[in-house]
Amino acid sequence: MVHVNENFCKLPGSYLFSEIGRRVARFSGEHPEAELIRLGIGDVTRPLVPAVVEAMERAAAEMGTPEGFHGYGPEQGYDFLRQAIARHDYQARGVAVEAGEIFVSDGAKSDCGNMGDIFSLDNVVAVCDPVYPVYVDSNAMAGRAGEYDPASGKWSRLVYLPCVKENGFVPAIPEGRADMVYLCFPNNPTGAMATRAQLKAWVDWANANGSVLLYDSAYEAFISQSELPHSIFEIEGARTCAIEFRSFSKTAGFTGTRCAYTVVPKELVRDGVSLNSLWNRRQTTKFNGVPYVVQRGAQAVYTPAGQEQVRQTIAYYQRNAQVIREGLARVGLEVYGGVNAPYIWVATPQGMGSWDFFDLLLRQAHVVTTPGAGFGPSGEGYIRVTAFGRAEQAAQAVERIQSVLG
Protein backbone atom coordinates (compact mmCIF):
# COMPACT_ATOMS: atom_id res chain seq x y z
CA MET A 1 0.00 0.00 0.00
CA VAL A 2 1.19 3.46 -0.82
CA HIS A 3 2.03 5.84 2.00
CA VAL A 4 1.62 9.59 1.78
CA ASN A 5 4.26 12.13 2.70
CA GLU A 6 3.30 12.48 6.35
CA ASN A 7 4.95 15.86 6.56
CA PHE A 8 1.98 17.28 4.64
CA CYS A 9 -0.33 15.98 7.37
CA LYS A 10 1.57 18.01 9.96
CA LEU A 11 0.81 21.32 8.24
CA PRO A 12 -1.69 23.40 10.19
CA GLY A 13 -5.13 23.17 8.55
CA SER A 14 -6.19 26.64 7.60
CA TYR A 15 -4.06 28.72 5.36
CA LEU A 16 -4.20 32.42 6.22
CA PHE A 17 -5.93 33.57 3.06
CA SER A 18 -8.57 30.84 3.16
CA GLU A 19 -9.53 31.90 6.70
CA ILE A 20 -9.72 35.52 5.54
CA GLY A 21 -11.84 34.35 2.58
CA ARG A 22 -14.19 32.51 4.96
CA ARG A 23 -14.64 35.54 7.22
CA VAL A 24 -15.19 37.88 4.29
CA ALA A 25 -17.70 35.48 2.69
CA ARG A 26 -19.62 35.19 5.96
CA PHE A 27 -19.75 38.98 6.36
CA SER A 28 -20.78 39.53 2.74
CA GLY A 29 -23.51 36.91 3.16
CA GLU A 30 -24.89 38.79 6.17
CA HIS A 31 -24.44 42.24 4.59
CA PRO A 32 -24.76 41.91 0.81
CA GLU A 33 -25.10 45.71 0.52
CA ALA A 34 -21.63 46.37 1.98
CA GLU A 35 -19.07 47.50 -0.60
CA LEU A 36 -15.83 45.97 0.53
CA ILE A 37 -12.42 47.44 -0.20
CA ARG A 38 -9.81 44.72 -0.37
CA LEU A 39 -6.40 45.75 0.88
CA GLY A 40 -5.57 42.24 2.05
CA ILE A 41 -4.10 39.87 -0.50
CA GLY A 42 -0.89 41.15 -2.10
CA ASP A 43 -2.00 40.95 -5.73
CA VAL A 44 -1.49 43.85 -8.11
CA THR A 45 -4.35 45.68 -9.82
CA ARG A 46 -2.73 47.83 -12.54
CA PRO A 47 -2.76 46.31 -16.05
CA LEU A 48 0.33 45.15 -17.90
CA VAL A 49 2.14 48.10 -19.47
CA PRO A 50 1.86 48.67 -23.27
CA ALA A 51 5.51 47.76 -23.97
CA VAL A 52 4.95 44.30 -22.43
CA VAL A 53 1.62 43.74 -24.16
CA GLU A 54 3.03 44.71 -27.56
CA ALA A 55 6.04 42.43 -27.13
CA MET A 56 3.79 39.51 -26.19
CA GLU A 57 1.50 40.19 -29.15
CA ARG A 58 4.48 40.16 -31.48
CA ALA A 59 5.77 36.95 -29.89
CA ALA A 60 2.35 35.29 -30.13
CA ALA A 61 2.19 36.19 -33.84
CA GLU A 62 5.70 34.76 -34.33
CA MET A 63 4.58 31.52 -32.69
CA GLY A 64 1.94 31.18 -35.41
CA THR A 65 4.54 31.06 -38.19
CA PRO A 66 6.76 28.13 -39.20
CA GLU A 67 9.93 30.27 -38.82
CA GLY A 68 8.94 31.91 -35.54
CA PHE A 69 7.51 28.89 -33.76
CA HIS A 70 9.20 27.92 -30.49
CA GLY A 71 8.77 24.56 -28.80
CA TYR A 72 10.56 23.65 -25.59
CA GLY A 73 12.92 26.45 -24.69
CA PRO A 74 16.03 26.29 -22.53
CA GLU A 75 15.01 25.33 -18.97
CA GLN A 76 17.15 28.16 -17.60
CA GLY A 77 15.46 30.80 -19.77
CA TYR A 78 16.20 32.27 -23.19
CA ASP A 79 19.54 33.97 -23.48
CA PHE A 80 17.89 37.24 -24.60
CA LEU A 81 16.15 37.51 -21.22
CA ARG A 82 19.04 36.27 -19.07
CA GLN A 83 21.34 38.82 -20.77
CA ALA A 84 18.82 41.64 -20.31
CA ILE A 85 18.43 40.80 -16.61
CA ALA A 86 22.20 40.60 -16.05
CA ARG A 87 22.77 43.92 -17.80
CA HIS A 88 19.94 45.98 -16.37
CA ASP A 89 19.31 44.57 -12.91
CA TYR A 90 22.96 43.94 -11.99
CA GLN A 91 25.76 45.19 -14.23
CA ALA A 92 24.14 48.63 -14.64
CA ARG A 93 24.27 48.92 -10.83
CA GLY A 94 27.90 47.81 -10.73
CA VAL A 95 27.05 44.28 -9.56
CA ALA A 96 28.90 41.36 -11.12
CA VAL A 97 26.17 38.85 -12.00
CA GLU A 98 26.37 37.09 -15.37
CA ALA A 99 23.67 35.49 -17.51
CA GLY A 100 24.82 31.96 -16.64
CA GLU A 101 23.99 32.60 -13.00
CA ILE A 102 20.40 33.59 -13.76
CA PHE A 103 17.64 30.97 -13.88
CA VAL A 104 14.36 32.25 -15.33
CA SER A 105 11.29 30.63 -13.80
CA ASP A 106 7.52 30.82 -13.48
CA GLY A 107 7.65 32.51 -10.10
CA ALA A 108 9.62 33.42 -7.02
CA LYS A 109 7.10 31.35 -5.08
CA SER A 110 8.08 28.21 -6.98
CA ASP A 111 11.78 28.99 -6.67
CA CYS A 112 11.61 29.75 -2.93
CA GLY A 113 9.57 26.59 -2.44
CA ASN A 114 11.74 24.38 -4.65
CA MET A 115 15.17 25.59 -3.60
CA GLY A 116 15.10 23.24 -0.63
CA ASP A 117 15.50 20.33 -3.10
CA ILE A 118 19.24 20.98 -3.34
CA PHE A 119 19.85 21.10 0.42
CA SER A 120 20.16 18.21 2.83
CA LEU A 121 17.28 17.51 5.19
CA ASP A 122 19.51 17.81 8.24
CA ASN A 123 20.20 21.51 7.70
CA VAL A 124 18.87 23.88 10.33
CA VAL A 125 16.54 26.44 8.75
CA ALA A 126 16.04 29.95 10.10
CA VAL A 127 13.15 32.18 9.12
CA CYS A 128 12.06 35.67 10.02
CA ASP A 129 9.02 35.96 12.28
CA PRO A 130 6.65 37.21 10.85
CA VAL A 131 7.38 35.56 7.51
CA TYR A 132 6.12 34.91 3.97
CA PRO A 133 4.60 31.46 4.66
CA VAL A 134 6.14 29.68 1.65
CA TYR A 135 9.58 29.40 3.29
CA VAL A 136 8.12 27.69 6.35
CA ASP A 137 5.58 25.43 4.68
CA SER A 138 7.93 24.21 1.95
CA ASN A 139 10.50 23.20 4.57
CA ALA A 140 7.77 21.54 6.62
CA MET A 141 6.68 19.54 3.55
CA ALA A 142 10.27 18.41 3.03
CA GLY A 143 10.56 17.28 6.64
CA ARG A 144 13.03 19.93 7.68
CA ALA A 145 10.76 21.74 10.16
CA GLY A 146 10.07 19.07 12.79
CA GLU A 147 6.67 19.16 14.51
CA TYR A 148 4.13 21.96 14.54
CA ASP A 149 2.98 23.24 17.91
CA PRO A 150 -0.41 24.95 17.56
CA ALA A 151 -0.07 26.63 20.97
CA SER A 152 3.05 28.57 20.00
CA GLY A 153 2.42 28.60 16.25
CA LYS A 154 5.99 27.36 15.76
CA TRP A 155 7.74 24.34 14.25
CA SER A 156 10.10 22.51 16.59
CA ARG A 157 13.16 22.44 14.30
CA LEU A 158 12.91 25.89 12.77
CA VAL A 159 14.86 28.80 14.19
CA TYR A 160 12.62 31.88 14.41
CA LEU A 161 14.23 35.29 14.07
CA PRO A 162 11.87 37.83 15.64
CA CYS A 163 11.34 40.96 13.57
CA VAL A 164 9.81 43.43 15.97
CA LYS A 165 9.68 47.18 16.29
CA GLU A 166 12.60 47.11 18.76
CA ASN A 167 14.96 45.84 16.02
CA GLY A 168 13.30 47.86 13.25
CA PHE A 169 11.88 44.55 11.89
CA VAL A 170 15.38 43.45 10.80
CA PRO A 171 16.37 40.21 12.52
CA ALA A 172 19.40 39.83 14.74
CA ILE A 173 21.94 37.19 13.76
CA PRO A 174 21.21 33.97 15.67
CA GLU A 175 23.57 32.81 18.38
CA GLY A 176 23.06 29.13 17.63
CA ARG A 177 23.33 27.12 14.44
CA ALA A 178 21.43 28.12 11.29
CA ASP A 179 22.43 26.72 7.90
CA MET A 180 19.74 27.98 5.52
CA VAL A 181 18.51 31.47 6.35
CA TYR A 182 15.58 33.02 4.51
CA LEU A 183 15.78 36.81 4.39
CA CYS A 184 13.25 38.97 2.55
CA PHE A 185 13.92 42.66 1.86
CA PRO A 186 11.89 44.74 1.20
CA ASN A 187 9.94 42.61 3.62
CA ASN A 188 6.62 40.96 3.24
CA PRO A 189 4.72 41.48 5.56
CA THR A 190 6.37 44.25 7.60
CA GLY A 191 7.47 46.51 4.73
CA ALA A 192 10.88 46.89 6.43
CA MET A 193 14.15 47.23 4.54
CA ALA A 194 17.64 46.26 5.74
CA THR A 195 20.59 48.63 5.42
CA ARG A 196 23.86 47.77 3.72
CA ALA A 197 25.56 47.48 7.11
CA GLN A 198 22.91 45.05 8.39
CA LEU A 199 23.20 42.88 5.28
CA LYS A 200 26.99 43.00 5.44
CA ALA A 201 26.82 41.57 8.97
CA TRP A 202 24.61 38.72 7.69
CA VAL A 203 26.95 38.03 4.76
CA ASP A 204 30.05 37.95 6.98
CA TRP A 205 28.30 35.66 9.45
CA ALA A 206 27.09 33.32 6.65
CA ASN A 207 30.58 33.09 5.13
CA ALA A 208 32.13 32.43 8.53
CA ASN A 209 29.61 29.67 9.30
CA GLY A 210 29.22 28.05 5.88
CA SER A 211 25.53 29.04 5.91
CA VAL A 212 23.53 30.08 2.84
CA LEU A 213 21.33 33.18 2.73
CA LEU A 214 18.18 32.68 0.66
CA TYR A 215 17.49 36.31 -0.17
CA ASP A 216 14.04 37.17 -1.52
CA SER A 217 13.94 40.60 -3.12
CA ALA A 218 10.64 40.22 -4.96
CA TYR A 219 9.76 43.79 -3.91
CA GLU A 220 13.06 45.37 -4.92
CA ALA A 221 11.33 47.77 -7.34
CA PHE A 222 9.68 49.52 -4.38
CA ILE A 223 12.92 50.68 -2.78
CA SER A 224 12.75 54.47 -2.80
CA GLN A 225 15.67 55.48 -0.58
CA SER A 226 18.75 55.67 -2.78
CA GLU A 227 21.29 54.46 -0.21
CA LEU A 228 19.58 51.07 0.19
CA PRO A 229 20.85 47.97 -1.66
CA HIS A 230 18.56 46.44 -4.30
CA SER A 231 20.40 43.14 -4.35
CA ILE A 232 22.27 41.05 -1.80
CA PHE A 233 25.05 40.89 -4.40
CA GLU A 234 25.70 44.59 -3.83
CA ILE A 235 27.19 43.41 -0.53
CA GLU A 236 30.83 42.33 -0.64
CA GLY A 237 31.20 38.62 0.03
CA ALA A 238 27.62 37.68 -0.94
CA ARG A 239 28.71 35.69 -3.99
CA THR A 240 30.05 32.94 -1.73
CA CYS A 241 27.01 32.71 0.56
CA ALA A 242 23.79 33.90 -1.08
CA ILE A 243 21.07 32.97 -3.55
CA GLU A 244 18.69 35.72 -4.69
CA PHE A 245 15.04 35.42 -5.75
CA ARG A 246 13.49 38.12 -7.92
CA SER A 247 10.19 38.40 -9.75
CA PHE A 248 8.42 40.36 -12.46
CA SER A 249 5.19 39.93 -10.48
CA LYS A 250 5.30 43.11 -8.45
CA THR A 251 7.84 44.94 -10.62
CA ALA A 252 5.79 44.71 -13.79
CA GLY A 253 2.37 43.29 -12.87
CA PHE A 254 3.22 39.70 -13.87
CA THR A 255 1.30 37.99 -11.04
CA GLY A 256 -1.01 36.41 -13.61
CA THR A 257 1.57 36.23 -16.42
CA ARG A 258 4.24 34.39 -14.37
CA CYS A 259 7.90 35.16 -14.76
CA ALA A 260 10.66 35.43 -12.18
CA TYR A 261 14.32 34.55 -11.80
CA THR A 262 16.81 33.24 -9.29
CA VAL A 263 20.51 34.06 -9.15
CA VAL A 264 22.87 31.32 -7.99
CA PRO A 265 26.48 32.60 -8.18
CA LYS A 266 29.11 30.29 -9.59
CA GLU A 267 31.36 30.87 -6.55
CA LEU A 268 28.70 29.46 -4.21
CA VAL A 269 30.06 26.07 -3.19
CA ARG A 270 29.16 23.83 -0.24
CA ASP A 271 30.55 20.32 0.45
CA GLY A 272 32.80 20.95 -2.55
CA VAL A 273 29.75 21.11 -4.85
CA SER A 274 28.64 24.09 -6.95
CA LEU A 275 25.09 25.12 -6.00
CA ASN A 276 24.72 26.67 -9.45
CA SER A 277 25.27 23.19 -10.96
CA LEU A 278 22.88 21.57 -8.50
CA TRP A 279 20.11 24.10 -9.19
CA ASN A 280 20.72 23.69 -12.92
CA ARG A 281 20.35 19.92 -12.49
CA ARG A 282 17.18 20.37 -10.47
CA GLN A 283 15.61 22.78 -12.95
CA THR A 284 16.52 20.78 -16.05
CA THR A 285 14.96 17.69 -14.46
CA LYS A 286 11.77 19.14 -12.99
CA PHE A 287 11.06 22.32 -14.97
CA ASN A 288 10.54 22.92 -18.68
CA GLY A 289 10.92 26.65 -18.91
CA VAL A 290 8.75 29.75 -19.08
CA PRO A 291 6.68 30.30 -22.25
CA TYR A 292 8.51 32.12 -25.05
CA VAL A 293 5.73 34.71 -25.28
CA VAL A 294 6.04 35.51 -21.57
CA GLN A 295 9.82 35.81 -21.71
CA ARG A 296 9.52 38.27 -24.63
CA GLY A 297 7.08 40.25 -22.45
CA ALA A 298 9.57 40.23 -19.56
CA GLN A 299 12.37 41.33 -21.88
CA ALA A 300 10.26 44.35 -22.89
CA VAL A 301 10.33 45.54 -19.27
CA TYR A 302 13.98 46.48 -19.90
CA THR A 303 13.38 48.60 -23.00
CA PRO A 304 13.41 52.38 -22.42
CA ALA A 305 9.62 52.51 -22.92
CA GLY A 306 9.08 49.49 -20.67
CA GLN A 307 11.27 50.99 -17.93
CA GLU A 308 9.40 54.27 -17.99
CA GLN A 309 6.00 52.56 -18.00
CA VAL A 310 6.72 50.19 -15.11
CA ARG A 311 8.22 53.10 -13.17
CA GLN A 312 4.87 54.86 -13.45
CA THR A 313 3.01 51.80 -12.22
CA ILE A 314 5.30 51.47 -9.21
CA ALA A 315 4.92 55.21 -8.51
CA TYR A 316 1.15 54.74 -8.51
CA TYR A 317 1.38 52.08 -5.80
CA GLN A 318 3.95 54.14 -3.90
CA ARG A 319 1.49 57.05 -3.77
CA ASN A 320 -1.15 54.67 -2.39
CA ALA A 321 1.32 53.53 0.25
CA GLN A 322 1.93 57.12 1.26
CA VAL A 323 -1.81 57.88 1.46
CA ILE A 324 -2.39 54.83 3.63
CA ARG A 325 0.65 55.36 5.84
CA GLU A 326 -0.02 59.03 6.49
CA GLY A 327 -3.80 58.63 6.76
CA LEU A 328 -3.60 55.86 9.34
CA ALA A 329 -0.90 57.68 11.31
CA ARG A 330 -3.23 60.70 11.50
CA VAL A 331 -5.78 58.71 13.54
CA GLY A 332 -3.04 57.77 15.95
CA LEU A 333 -2.20 54.31 14.60
CA GLU A 334 1.43 53.21 14.78
CA VAL A 335 2.46 52.50 11.18
CA TYR A 336 5.62 50.97 9.72
CA GLY A 337 6.81 50.15 6.22
CA GLY A 338 5.22 51.59 3.10
CA VAL A 339 8.32 53.65 2.20
CA ASN A 340 10.49 51.02 0.48
CA ALA A 341 7.72 48.42 0.15
CA PRO A 342 4.09 48.14 -0.92
CA TYR A 343 3.12 46.91 2.55
CA ILE A 344 2.13 48.99 5.55
CA TRP A 345 2.44 47.21 8.88
CA VAL A 346 0.01 48.68 11.38
CA ALA A 347 0.06 48.06 15.12
CA THR A 348 -3.42 47.29 16.45
CA PRO A 349 -4.83 49.92 18.81
CA GLN A 350 -4.90 49.28 22.56
CA GLY A 351 -3.24 45.91 22.30
CA MET A 352 -6.11 44.36 20.30
CA GLY A 353 -5.47 40.95 18.74
CA SER A 354 -4.70 40.87 15.01
CA TRP A 355 -7.84 38.94 14.10
CA ASP A 356 -10.02 41.17 16.33
CA PHE A 357 -8.75 44.29 14.59
CA PHE A 358 -9.17 42.56 11.22
CA ASP A 359 -12.81 41.78 12.14
CA LEU A 360 -13.43 45.32 13.39
CA LEU A 361 -12.14 46.86 10.14
CA LEU A 362 -14.10 44.34 8.08
CA ARG A 363 -17.36 44.78 9.96
CA GLN A 364 -17.27 48.53 10.65
CA ALA A 365 -15.12 50.01 7.85
CA HIS A 366 -15.80 47.29 5.26
CA VAL A 367 -12.07 47.15 4.60
CA VAL A 368 -10.28 43.81 4.21
CA THR A 369 -6.75 43.68 5.61
CA THR A 370 -4.48 40.79 6.62
CA PRO A 371 -4.02 39.87 10.29
CA GLY A 372 -0.34 39.94 11.20
CA ALA A 373 -0.68 36.84 13.35
CA GLY A 374 -1.17 34.84 10.16
CA PHE A 375 2.49 35.47 9.28
CA GLY A 376 3.91 34.13 12.53
CA PRO A 377 3.77 34.63 16.29
CA SER A 378 5.59 37.98 16.20
CA GLY A 379 2.96 39.29 13.77
CA GLU A 380 0.38 39.24 16.57
CA GLY A 381 -0.71 42.78 17.36
CA TYR A 382 -0.37 43.96 13.76
CA ILE A 383 -2.29 43.98 10.50
CA ARG A 384 -0.83 44.24 7.01
CA VAL A 385 -2.35 46.70 4.56
CA THR A 386 -1.30 46.60 0.93
CA ALA A 387 -0.85 49.50 -1.47
CA PHE A 388 -1.79 47.40 -4.51
CA GLY A 389 -5.40 48.59 -4.70
CA ARG A 390 -6.79 51.36 -6.88
CA ALA A 391 -5.90 54.88 -5.73
CA GLU A 392 -9.50 55.90 -5.04
CA GLN A 393 -10.01 52.75 -2.99
CA ALA A 394 -6.89 53.36 -0.92
CA ALA A 395 -8.09 56.89 -0.16
CA GLN A 396 -11.60 55.73 0.60
CA ALA A 397 -10.38 52.91 2.84
CA VAL A 398 -8.32 55.40 4.84
CA GLU A 399 -11.34 57.71 5.22
CA ARG A 400 -13.51 54.85 6.41
CA ILE A 401 -10.92 53.69 8.93
CA GLN A 402 -10.49 57.26 10.13
CA SER A 403 -14.22 57.61 10.72
CA VAL A 404 -14.41 54.28 12.58
CA LEU A 405 -11.38 54.98 14.78
CA GLY A 406 -11.53 58.75 14.91
State the residues that interact with ligand PLP by CB under 6 A: 42, 107-109, 112, 132, 184, 188, 216, 218, 247, 249, 255, 260
Selection from 44, 88, 77 nearest residue 295 by Cα? 77
Residue 357 and residue 404: Cα distance in Å, rounded?
Answer: 12
Residue 283 and residue 75: Cα distance in Å, rounded?
Answer: 7
Q: How far is the CB of 399 from ligand PLP (least distance, A)?
A: 27
Q: How far is the CB of 132 from ligand PLP (least distance, A)?
A: 4
Coil, strand, or helix at residue 91? helix
Residue 102 and residue 264: Cα distance in Å, rounded?
Answer: 7
Instruction: State the chain's maximal CA–CA distance in angstroms.
Output: 66
| Closer to ligand PLP by Cβ: residue 246 or 296 | 246
| Closer to ligand PLP by Cβ: residue 346 or 401 | 346
Q: Quickly list H helices, 338-388.
A: 354-360
| Closer to ligand PLP by Cβ: residue 75 or 216 | 216
Q: How far is the CB of 343 from ligand PLP (least distance, A)?
A: 9
Q: How far is the CB of 249 from ligand PLP (least distance, A)?
A: 3
Q: How far is the CB of 76 from ligand PLP (least distance, A)?
A: 17
86: Cα separation from own chain's centroid: 20
| Closer to ligand PLP by Cβ: residue 42 or 372 | 42
Residue 302 and residue 17: Cα distance in Å, rounded?
Answer: 33
Q: Are 131 and 230 in contact (CB under 8 A)?
A: no
42, exposed or middle or buried, with CB in 10 Å at 0-12, 13-18, 19+? buried
Q: How far is the CB of 36 from ligand PLP (least distance, A)?
A: 21
| Closer to ligand PLP by Cβ: residue 82 or 109 | 109
Q: Quickly list H helices, 260-330.
A: 275-286, 292-300, 304-330
Q: How far is the CB of 394 from ligand PLP (least distance, A)?
A: 18
- Judged by phi (left if over 0) then psi (alpha if -120 to 50, else beta), residue 351 lies in left
| Closer to ligand PLP by Cβ: residue 52 or 365 | 52
| Closer to ligand PLP by Cβ: residue 192 or 260 | 260
When computed from its CA atoms, the radius of gyration of the chain, rounded to whole angstroms, is 21
Selection from 120, 112, 116, 99 nearest residue 266 by Cα? 99
